[in-house]
Amino acid sequence: MIIALFNQKGGVGKTTSAINLAAALALGGDSVTVVDADAQQQAVGHEMPGVSTVPALGADELRRAVSEAGANWVLIDCPPSLVEAAPALPLADLILAPLPPRFKDLSGLAALRETVEAVRERGRPNLLLRVFVTQRDARVALQGEYEKQLRGAFGSLVLQTVVPRAAAFEKADMARQSVLDFAPSSPGAAAYRDLAQEVRALWASSSSSSSTN
């Protein structure tokens, strides 16, 4: 399955999710490639067992990197710009958007749906879209309210997994590791293992029927 981690908002957790979801998918023995399509190149250089990381800038390089990956799972870390991420989106089976429960981030979701709809109309009718809540701080009551609104408005588009806000992510990042290696028993690591399970289930159900988008 080819998954594009995309959200045109910056700093939402695309790169963090590419790294940690890759590490979690690799735990089961599957091969995983992270394609770093962001000029910031923040995914390359991370060391995860069973995961290879390749840089790919520009449409041609990106297409080649994805088609030559030869892995069970290819995760594309997209840049925070629709124009720059545009070549990546039609290559994917699933657009997966990390979404912090903050007002300014929730407001971009309608645009994200339109973007995916446009890609579907241009020849990728089965392109899946899912979002998941990340950087969730249990102490902030308002975030619970936003999450409720999000689930009410977008229903099954929102995955069950919620990634907590945790300092371990930044520390793991500094060590160029996934949080699964850096702090395997942390709640953050557990969340990405759960996310991997949900993504596996989604892939299993979408491979058996093509009408679940």
Ligand X SMILES: Nc1ncnc2c1ncn2[C@@H]1O[C@H](COP(=O)(O)OP(=O)(O)OP(=O)(O)O)[C@@H](O)[C@H]1O
- In the complex, least distance from residue 119 CB atom to ligand X, rounded to whole angstroms: 20
Rounded to whole angstroms, the Cα distance separating 186 from 195 reads 14
By CB under 5 A, tell whether 46 contacts Mg ion. no
Binding-site partner at residue 166 among ligand X, Mg ion, none, CB < 5 to 8 Å by type: ligand X
Q: Of 165, 59, 62, 156, whose CA–CA distance to 105 is shortest?
A: 165
Closer to Mg ion by CB, 21 or 124: give it: 21
Helix, strand, coil tally for the chain in percent (to 5): 45, 20, 35
- Name the binder of 36 from Mg ion, ligand X, none, CB < 5-8 A by kind: none
Q: Does 53 bind Mg ion (CB under 5 A)?
A: no
Q: Closer to ligand X by CB, 40 or 212: give it.
A: 40
Residue numbers 17-76 binding ligand X by CB under 6 A: 38, 40, 42
Of ligand X, Mg ion, none, which one sits near residue 169, judging by CB under 5 to 8 A according to partner kind? Answer: ligand X
10 binds ligand X (CB under 6 A): yes
Residue nearest to Mg ion (CB): 15
Alpha carbons 21 and 15: distance in angstroms, whole number: 10
- With contacts defined by CB under 6 A, how many residues of the chain interact with ligand X? 19
178 within 8 A of 169, measured Cβ to Cβ: no
Residues 112-171 that bind ligand X (CB under 6 A): 134-135, 163, 165-166, 169-170
Q: Which of 3, 8, 14, 21 binds Mg ion (CB under 5 A)?
A: 14
Residue 143 identity: Q
CA 34/CA 46 separation, integer angstroms? 10
CA dist 164 and 140 (Å) reads 12
Q: How far is the CB of 126 from ligand X (least distance, A)?
A: 25
33 SS3 class: strand
53 phi/psi in degrees, rounded to 5: -125, 125
Q: Would you tell me which residues interact with Mg ion (CB under 5 A)? A: 14-15
